[in-house]
Every structure is written in structure tokens, then in C-alpha cells.
Amino acid sequence: MVQRAVRVSTANGGAGGVKPFGNVTRGTTNPNRLRRVDRWLAVPQAWRLRTVDPDDRPLVVDLGYGASPTTAVELQHRLAAVNPRVHVAGIEIEPARVRSAKSLEHDGLSFHPGGFEIPVAGNPVMVRAFNVLRQYDEADVPAIWATVCARLSANGIFADGTCDEIGRRSTWVALERSGPVSLTLSLKFGAFSAPSDVAERLPKALIHHNVPGEKVHTFLQALDRAWWEAAPLASFGARQRWIASCRGLRAAGWPVQDGPARWRLGELTVGWSAVWP
């Protein structure tokens, strides 16, 4: 049974707490489910892995990896291609899940019991928490974000996201120490009829705000409009249509942060100012 989230204001966690900060969640996952966010961390965010002191090892955290350690193993493999010295720490609040993952540990991968307080030494350059915060109350999100962001290194980033069961539709908020900076959508071509189909996978901070009058709703409607305006390019494939949609969105004044190299993957990143509640 999934427990209702302990409200952040009364949780027994934090740096001096006795219990980990958070609740046991369902923990469901699938191999390769998080490939889209991993690809984003390993390419446009790769500079963060290369700017640490040469004598240090960049620390990356897979926060709330779930009942299976698969996503942590995959993350370490993908980021080690960028910096072989990277160390991924998988953190889970359920001790039994940590014990079952211990046999997979090696020099670049370890597993630890804990929660949002991130109970490992050092400040991570990357924290990935996927399909975790969606199981909490929206009112708890600001305190969770603040707790994680306070643990980041100076150039650190926190990806708080959600995806479907096999990773075809994915979204995430990127946060730095100062707070949220962007929202990214990443969709598999052929897995949607309109870009707004991704709305059911919006992060917890946004999903309940996809209603008329809210910024994220306006943004998704504008993206849909750009998609339909690019319909004549459908004969050249969904990829070309998506690229044209992203280009049209930028031309309309939306703070699109990336370019064709990311768009061709079915990805689009927009500044947080365009969608924040």
C-alpha cells in the first residue's frame, strides 16, 4: 500500500532528523524508461560533469530509484561515457530495496538508504528524481525542491520529472541552486497525436495547473497550434513537423532555450517563466 505523503512541515527528515525525509512510494520502473532525461543529462548538461576539480569525482544522485536499481545502473553507464570518473549514488527510502541492490555496487556506483535530504558525502552535480514527486502533495513540492537544491554543487542541476511506463512521453523541471529554470518536454514520434498529449505526464508542480488561465495550459495550447500549423510538413515525417513547430513557437516569442539538435529528438525546453503557476 502506498502511504499518503507526510507533509513537509511535519516530516522527521532533514540534516538533523532521525528518519529519512520522504515516504515509501510504489517504486515501479522499467529498463530504459528514463533514457530521454539521461540523454539530456549526458549531452546538453554534460559540461557540469567536466567542470569539477580534476582531483574530485563528480557525484550524481538517482533519487528514489524504486524497487529495481535498473535506472541507477543505466545512469552510471551513460554518464561514464562523458566522464569515466563519475560516481552515481542511488538513494531509496525503503531499506530492503537498498539491500537488494548492494550486489551491483562497484567503484562508480553505490546504493544508500535515505530521502530528499540526500545522505551522502559531497554535493552532487546532478540529481535525478523521476516519478517520485508525483506521488506527493503539490503543497509539499516547494520544500522538497528547496531541500534538494540546497545540496547541489555550485554548478549542480536537479531534474524533477515524470514519464509514462516505457518512457515514450516524458517531462521534467530543471532546477539549479537558485530554483527552477526550465521545463523540458520529450516525446517519441508516433506516440502522440498532439503535443499536449504529454499533459498527463507533467511534473507535480504543474500537472494540476493545466487548465484555462494558467501559464502551462497556454503554453501547451500554443505548442499544439504550432504543430497543426506545421501539418503540411507531415509528408516529410513527424521529425520535420516537430522541428517546424518548435521554430514557430520561438518565432511567436516563447522562451525556447534549445535548437534543432535537440528538437530532432522530439525534445523541447522552455524557460520556467513561461509555465510557472
Share of the chain above pLDDT 90, in %: 86
CATH homologous superfamily of domain 8-191+255-274? Answer: Vaccinia Virus protein VP39 (3.40.50.150)
Residue 18, pLDDT > 60, answer no
In this predicted model, what pLDDT tens digit does every residue of 151-171 receive, in sequence order? 999 999 999 999 999 999 999
| Residue 28: pLDDT over 60 | yes
Cβ(21)–Cβ(27) under 8 Å?
A: no
Identify the weakest region by mean pLDDT among 21-30, 112-121, 202-211. 21-30
Confidence of residue 31 (pLDDT cuts 50, 70, 90): confident
Secondary structure letter of residue 69 according to DSSP: T
> Rg (Cα) of the chain, in Å, rounded?
19
Q: Are the C-beta atoms of 11 and 21 separated by less than 8 Å? A: yes
60 to 46, 196, 239: CA distances (angstroms): 12, 31, 32
pLDDT digits (tens, 9 = 90+) for 183-202: 999 999 999 999 999 999 99
| Residue-wise pLDDT tens digits, 115-152 | 999 999 999 999 999 999 998 999 999 999 999 999 99
Tell me the C-alpha distance between 149 and 156, whole Å. 8
The letter for the amino acid at 196 is S
Where is 175: in which H helix or E strand?
strand 169-176
Model confidence band, residue 53 (pLDDT cutoffs 50, 70, 90) = confident
22 has pLDDT over 90: no
How far is CA 192 from each of CA 169, 227, 274, rounded to the nearest angstrom?
Answer: 8, 11, 23
pLDDT of 5 reads 43
pLDDT at 52: 76
Query: Do the bridges between strand 109-113 and strand 126-130 make them parallel or antiparallel, or are there none, so unpaired?
Result: unpaired
Q: Grid coordinates representing 71?
A: 535506472
pLDDT tens, residue by residue, 214-237: 999 999 999 999 999 999 999 999
